[in-house]
Amino acid sequence: MFFNSLDFALFLPVVFLLYWFIGRRQLYVQNLFLVLASYFFYACWDWRFLSLIFLSTLVDFTAGLALSKQDEKWKRRTLLWCSIVCNVGILGFFKYYNFFVQTFTEVFTLFGLRFHLATLKLILPVGISFYTFQTLSYTIDIYRKQLKPTQDFIAFAGFVSFFPQLVAGPIERATNLLPQFLADRTFNYAKAVDGMRQILWGLFKKVVVADNCAEVVNLTFSHPGDYSGSTLLLGAVFFAFQIYGDFSGYSDIAIGTARLFGFELKQNFSFPYFSRDIAEFWRRWHISLSTWFRDYLYIPLGGSRGSTLNRVRNVFIIFIVSGFWHGANWTFLAWGGLHALCFLPLLLRHKNRVHLDVVAKGGAFPSPKEALQMLLTFGIATLAWVFFRAESVHHALAYLFGIFQRSLFSIPSLSPLHVWVGVVVMIIVEWTHRDQEHGLQLNHARIGKPLRWFVYILLLFSIAFFMGDANPFIYFQF
C-alpha cells in the first residue's frame, strides 16, 4: 500500500476515525488497534514477511527485559550480541546474500579458479533496513543504560510496526517514540491540521516533482550515449530533485500522518540542498539514518577524536557503511566513498561544524558567497547521485564521461516545462520556509486565510492532475 495510492486514501480516514472514536480514553485499545492496522498496512504488500517484523519485535523485547535483570558485563554483552546477530543476520541474508555470493565467485574467477555458489531468488522485504535499525537502537540503549525496557509488549510492537514510518522511516529511537505509546494521547486539532498540511506538501513533492522528474531521468540513464552532455547533466540534476522529492516527500507524509494520531516523529530532512558544504548536507539529509550511524557506529569507533589516521578511518567507515546500507551494489559503496572524500578535508581542517544555522537567516536572499557555496555543494551531491542511480560503476562512469564533453555547452534536448515549474515551486516554497520543519508550515500572521486556501487548492489540483498509477517510493527498495 503506497501513500500515493487510492488504497491509502481510503485506509487512512477509516483508521483515523476508528482510532479516535472507538479507542479514545483507552490506551491499550488504541495501541492494539494501531498494531493491527500497521500489520494490515504491511500485509497489503506481502503478508508472509509479517513474521520477520514479529520476530524482530519478540527478540528485542525479550532481550530488553533480560538485559534489565543482568548486571554481569559478559552476560549483558552476550544478550546484546544475540540481538545484533539475529537482526543483522536476517537483514544480511535477505539483502546481501546474493551480493556476497556473486562477489566471492568473481574473486575466484580472477585467479583462474572456477568456483560456483548458487544465488537465491530472494524478495527484499520492504522496510527491513528501517525497522531493523529501529529495534536495534532499543536494545543498544538498554545495554548502555540510557533507557529502561518496557514490559508492555503491545506498546513495543506498536513502536516497531507504526505504519506511517514502517517501510521508509524516519528511523525512530525508542527514547522518542516508545514513551508516546506509553502515554495517554488526546486529539489536538492544531497539530492534526498541521499534519494535513505536511501530508499535502509531501504528496506534491512525490507526485508533481519526483514522478515528473523521473520521466527525464529514466530516459537519460537508460540511454546515456544518445544524449548530449548538457542533457545528461540535466538528467543528473533532475535525479537530485527526484530522489529528494521522493524520499523527503515520504517523510513528510509519514510525519504528518503520525501527527494525526497524536505522535511526533523526528524531522528527517531539513532542506539539504540549501547546505553550504557536505558536512551541513549530511546534517540535513536523512537525519534519522545519519544520526543513527553517528551515535551507534561513528562515536563508538572514536569519532573525530584520536590520531589523524583514526579520524580518516572512521570517516570512511561511516560513509562506506552508509552506502552499503542502501543496497548490495558497488555503486552505493562508490557513492559513500565519494562523500567521504568530500567530507574529509572539512574534518581535517576542523571546518565540519561551521554551518550550524540556516543559510541567510533573517534575510530574503543568500549572500554571493553563500549562493556559490550552495551551488558547489549541490553540484558535488548531484554528481555523486549518478553512482546512486546507475546500475553499475561502469554505467556511472560512462554517464559522467558523457556529461563532460563539448556538448555540455549545448542546449539540452529534454527540458519539459512542467518539470521545471514543479521544481521551481518546490525550491521557492522551501526556501521561504527553510527555518521551519516543512514547506507548508505557514505563518498565519503573514498569510491570510483566503491565500492559504488558494495555495491548498492549487496544490491539490496539481496533485490530482499528475496522479496516475501509484509509483513506488525509491526508498522502498532499501
Q: What is the pLDDT of residue 46?
A: 83
Q: Please state the length of the chain.
A: 478
Task: List the end-to-end C-alpha distance of the chain, in Å, as a whole number.
Answer: 16
Cell numbers of 411, please?
542546449
What span, in angstroms and rounded, lies between the C-alpha atoms of 89 and 83? 10
Angle between helices 417-432 and 229-260 (to 10 degrees): 50
CA 246 to chain CA centroid, Å, is 9
Q: What is the pLDDT of residue 449?
A: 78
pLDDT digits (tens, 9 = 90+) for 82-139: 999 999 999 888 887 767 666 666 665 665 656 565 656 667 788 888 999 999 999 9
Cell numbers of 249, please?
516527500
What span, in angstroms and rounded, lies between the C-alpha atoms of 119 and 136? 28
**Pick from 290, 384, 375, 374: which is nearest to 342 by CA?**
384
Considering 116, 223, 286, 326, which one is annotated as catalytic? 326
Q: What is the pLDDT of residue 207?
A: 95
Contact 308, 300 (CB under 8 A): no
What span, in angstroms and rounded, lies between the C-alpha atoms of 349 and 24? 55
What span, in angstroms and rounded, lies between the C-alpha atoms of 120 and 102? 11
**Pick from 319, 327, 321, 325: which is nearest to 343 by CA?**
319
Cell numbers of 79, please?
544478550
What span, in angstroms and rounded, lies between the C-alpha atoms of 337 and 416? 33
What span, in angstroms and rounded, lies between the C-alpha atoms of 400 and 113? 34
Q: Pick out the chain residues at pLDDT < 50.
A: none
Q: What is the pLDDT of residue 48?
A: 86
418 is catalytic: no
Residues sharing a CB contact under 8 Å with residue 29, sequence separation 6 or more, in sequence order? 22, 23
- Taking CA atoms, 48 is separated from 39, 44, 422, in Å, by 11, 10, 38
Which residue type does 3 have? F
Contact 372, 315 (CB under 8 A): no
- Taking CA atoms, 76 is separated from 83, 143, 259, 293, in Å, by 11, 7, 36, 22
Give the per-residue SS3 of the chain: CCCCCHHHHHHHHHHHHHHHHCCCCCHHHHHHHHHHHHHHHHHHHHHHHHHHHHHHHHHHHHHHHHHHCCCCHHHHHHHHHHHHHHHHHHHHHHHHHHHHHHHHHHHHHHCCCCCCCCCCCCCCCCCHHHHHHHHHHHHHHHHCCCCCCCCCHHHHHHHHHCHHHCCCCCCCCHHHHHHHHHCCCCCCHHHHHHHHHHHHHHHHHHHHHHHHHHHHHHHHHHCHHHCCHHHHHHHHHHHHHHHHHHHHHHHHHHHHHHHHCCCCCCCCCCCHHHCCCHHHHHHHCCHHHHHHHHHHHHCCCCCCCCCHHHHHHHHHHHHHHHHHHHCCCHHHHHHHHHHHHHHHHHHHCCCCCCCCCCCCCCCCCCCHHHHHHHHHHHHHHHHHHHHHHCCCHHHHHHHHHHHCCHHHHCCCCCCCHHHHHHHHHHHHHHHHCCCCCCCCCCCCCCCCHHHHHHHHHHHHHHHHHHCCCCCCCHHHHC
b/e string for 427-440 if b means 16 or more Cβ within 10 A?
A: bebbbebbebebbb
Contact 91, 132 (CB under 8 A): yes
Number of alpha carbons in the 13 Å side-chain half-sphere of residue 321: 16
